[in-house]
């Protein structure tokens, strides 16, 4: 689906419908494709007033107590696992993970986590393409 930033509430609603009890949302896309921008919009959709920033250097940010934001770019899957972050995913809420890969998706599936994947790509002037792949 091709959406502009002002249409992101529709995508946020789809995520809530897909994962009504919360779960993991894997955000995939190139650098500057809009992964953090999506997270900012998702936080607004949840009526959170926190300033959402990329957790690139901290690995995890928590907003409003039930929105968790992770960035694996600098750390990678192995570090994520070695730090015990899988246990964090058991907390109630939405867990948005930037740079999640097939290894993480496989582990989530094996462990029985509810998840979906959003593939973000740049299309044209200020337009992003979002492909939602339903997981479990």
The CATH number covering residue 122 comes to: 3.40.50.300
Confidence of residue 57 (pLDDT cuts 50, 70, 90): confident
Which residues does residue 116 pair with via DSSP β-bridges, in sequence order? 25, 134
Which stretch of 42-56, 59-73, 117-131 has the lowest confidence by average pLDDT? 117-131
Q: Per residue in 104-136, pLDDT tens?
A: 999 999 999 999 999 998 887 768 888 888 766
Average pLDDT, the chain: 89
Quote the CA–CA distance of 132 and 26 in Å, as a whole number: 10
Q: Is 102 helix (H, G, I), strand (E, B) or coil?
A: helix
Q: Which residues of 67-76 are buried (b: 16+ CB within 10 A; e: fewer)?
A: bbbbbbeebe
Report the domain count for the chain.
1
Mean pLDDT for 35-61 is 89
- pLDDT score at 132: 85
Instruction: Count CB-CB contacts under 10 A for residue 105.
Output: 19
- pLDDT score at 127: 80
Quote the CA–CA distance of 79 and 57 in Å, as a whole number: 13
- pLDDT score at 13: 93
Q: Is 39 helix (H, G, I), strand (E, B) or coil?
A: helix
What range defines the domain where residue 29 resides? 2-134
* pLDDT higher than 70, residue 50: yes
Confidence of residue 82 (pLDDT cuts 50, 70, 90): very high
């Amino acid at each position: 689906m091709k959406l502009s930033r002002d249409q992101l509430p529709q995508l946020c609603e789809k995520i809530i419908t897909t994962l009504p009890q919360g779960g993991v949302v894997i955000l995939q896309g190139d650098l500057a494709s809009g992964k953090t921008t999506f997270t900012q919009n998702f936080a607004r959709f949840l009526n959170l007033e926190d300033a959402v920033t990329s957790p690139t250097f901290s690995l995890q940010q928590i907003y409003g107590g039930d929105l968790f934001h992770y960035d694996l770019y600098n750390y990678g899957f192995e570090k994520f696992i070695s730090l015990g972050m899988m246990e964090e995913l058991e907390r109630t809420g939405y867990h948005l993970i930037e740079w999640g890969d097939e290894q993480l998706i496989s582990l989530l599936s094996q462990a029985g986590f509810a998840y979906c994947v959003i593939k973000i790509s740049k299309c044209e002037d200020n337009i992003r393409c979002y492909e939602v792949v339903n997981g479990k």
